[in-house]
Amino acid sequence: MATALVALVALAALGASAGCGSDDSSGGPVALKFYVAPEGSGSFENASETCTKQADGRYRVTIAPLPADAGAQREQLVRRLAAKDDDIDIIGMDVIWTAEFAEAGWVKPWTGELEREVRRGTLPATLETATYQDKLWAAPGNTNAQLLWYRKDRVKTPPKTWDEMFQMARKLGKDGLIEAQGGQKEALAVWFNTLVNSAGGSVLKGQDEPGLGAPAEKAAAIIGRLANGPWTDPSLSNQREDENRLAWESGAPSFMVNYSFVYPSAKENAPEVFKNMAWAPYPSVEAGKPAKVSIGGFNLGVGAYSKHPKESFEAAACMRSAENQRFAADKGGLPPTLQSLYDSPAFAKANPFSKVLLQTIKDSSVRPVSPVYNDISLAIQKTLSPPGSVKDPAATAEKLKQRVADALVSKGLL
């Protein structure tokens, strides 16, 4: 296994040394590469073009597309950065990569006036996703958090807790279907982390010790109850966010926890469902206490081996400016990290749930900040998959504690 990894890194190093880094030898604008996942609305392309124009010849930003799958994105970047690839100037970083990339020395910290600029007006929860050991390693570019979506023609008042939702679903009978993310992917770890934090706990205690305990037992109980009740989708163990969206648009479910992309999708693809589509805060684990939903999104980091760090920081700051975040919110439905933009009439019109979303982000939690988060997530996914196997919450919580403890001493970043 170690030999194979060395070989992969060596191949990546050869690719990097073959001259694919930025080159401004012609005396023209500095060429910057922006490595980022594909995004359908064109907001990343728009930001790159806008900032290139505003740079007035200092730099030119071009997009280097990463794979669509989040795991494949990380794997490609890890291999290239481990090989000290200087082609990577700016990185569209998943919020869960911060600690790993910072600890490995693959991104540069934000400092000085640009750091102060990034912090001004930015939602604190999103800054938390970009921070490791009291340093800012990325600039929050967009964010997101799940809400509860429900059918207002079937449900007069939305449930406030998971227990209330199960009771309502039971009364609805065949119409009481609940959609959630039960596939053995990152979405399952997100669901669990949200429930644990909502129950007053956390996956980690500090950085080197599992937290879990009684809150993890409560979280496992909810997952097992959903999976083994009459309200579960038979496809739960294979479902992620998009599978939930498609199920919702079929008209069968009455409840769904999911991100805001489901709203414009239903409007376009399922108008009969859309006209009865309503939203509410994510269900609480404990009555009277708001859920602490795990936030997502992308942050902008500067590659440690970039030949042009000054221009890369300048471009990254530009690409998450108010102007560019407003475009991404209005055209792509990507919630902004600047609080002032939630007052944008265009954003509020396109996203009438914006006030609930903003409050959810303010009340949110982040996933464990750890250089070995990938291993922690895999430990959670493996233990909770399939969700129907969770029949003894106490035993599941104990198993989770052991597996997270094992993940914390993992030495492999791949």
CATH number at residue 125: 3.40.190.10
Q: Are residues 244 and 382 in the same domain?
A: yes
Integer Cα distance of 196 and 203 in angstroms: 7
Inter-residue contact 305 to 86 (CB < 8 Å): yes
| Tally of domains within the chain | 2
Q: Are residues 115 and 153 in the same domain?
A: no
Given a cut of 50, the residues of the chain with pLDDT beneath it are 1-23, 411-414
pLDDT of residue 244: 97
pLDDT of residue 21: 42
- Within a domain: residue 363? no
Q: In the beta sheet, which residues pair with residue 232? A: 178
- Within a domain: residue 361? no
Q: Are residues 269 and 403 in the same domain?
A: yes
Q: Are residues 195 and 98 in the same domain?
A: no
Q: Are residues 128 and 263 in the same domain?
A: no
- Per-residue model confidence as pLDDT tens digits over 155-194: 999 999 999 999 999 999 999 999 999 999 999 999 999 9
pLDDT of residue 19: 38
- Within a domain: residue 312? yes
Integer Cα distance of 121 and 118 in angstroms: 8
pLDDT of residue 206: 80
Q: Are residues 152 and 201 in the same domain?
A: yes
pLDDT of residue 414: 39
- Within a domain: residue 315? yes
pLDDT of residue 26: 57
Q: Which domain holds residue 387?
A: 147-293+368-408
Q: Are residues 96 and 193 in the same domain?
A: no
Q: How far is CA 135 from CA 62, 112, 296, in A?
A: 28, 12, 20
pLDDT of residue 3: 35
Work out whether strand 59-65 and strand 30-36 pair parallel, antiparallel, or are unpaired.
Answer: parallel
- Per-residue model confidence as pLDDT tens digits over 2-39: 333 333 333 333 333 333 444 455 578 999 999 999 88
Inter-residue contact 56 to 341 (CB < 8 Å): no
pLDDT of residue 412: 37
Last-in-domain residue among 309, 325, 354: 354
Provide Rg for the chain, Cα atoms. Answer: 22
CB atoms closer than 10 angstroms to residue 257:
23
Q: Are residues 394 and 339 in the same domain?
A: no
Q: Are residues 243 and 381 in the same domain?
A: yes
DSSP letter string, 357-402: HHHHHHT-B-----TTHHHHHHHHHHHH-SGGG---HHHHHHHHHH
Q: Are residues 69 and 184 in the same domain?
A: no
Q: In the beta sheet, which residues pair with residue 365? A: 294
Q: Are residues 158 and 195 in the same domain?
A: yes
Q: Are residues 259 and 202 in the same domain?
A: yes
